[in-house]
Amino acid sequence: MNQLLQKYPQEIQAVLARYPADRKRSAVMPLLHLAQQEPGYITKQAMLEIAEILEMPVTDIDSIVGFYTLFHEQAEGRYHVQVCTDLPCALRGADEFLRQLCENIGVKVGETTPDGMVTIEEVKCLAGCHRAPMFQVQGDGDISYHENQTVESAAALIQDLRNRKEAA
């Protein structure tokens, strides 16, 4: 039985109602967002169920999840700090910024802080190349962008995110 349909029947119907029946594949992104809501990542089972709902190959779903930085395939930190390191950003020091930031907070790229609060990720193109080094933070249903960063300003922001655990 499709667990997504059981858990979110009205939400799924509302999403599907936005698209013509012969174009229901267009609902893939909103359904992925819905599937990721509670666990914080998209399970392989959820991908199979979305593929079933939309009558499309699960490999298409998987490629979408793998491409977009807003989707995650495994449990990670409460906050995702995604540093852009594409070529224009790298020319403005993004690679060194990422290395020093990871060193400063004691994790490697792709790792999560021991308190489970922050995962540092390397991504491509956040559309702010002229203001690099820059990163986005995803968490608590929000996305925020931080441009023209220094390691110190980024580390301070990350510490603020980690302190939210104590305040919660």
Domains of the chain: 3-67 (1.10.10.1590), 79-167 (3.40.30.10)
pLDDT in tens, 100-136: 999 999 999 999 999 989 999 999 888 898 999 999 9
Q: What is the pLDDT of residue 118?
A: 94
Predicted structure pTM score: 0.72
* DSSP H helical ranges for the chain: 3-7, 9-17, 28-37, 44-54, 58-67, 87-91, 94-105, 151-167
Backbone angles phi, psi at 163, to 5 degrees: -70, -20
Query: For 17-66, how does the pLDDT look when each residue is reduced to its tens digit (9 = 90+)?
Result: 999 999 999 999 999 999 998 878 899 999 999 999 999 999 999 999 98
- The phi and psi torsions of 148 (rounded to 5 degrees) equal 50, 50
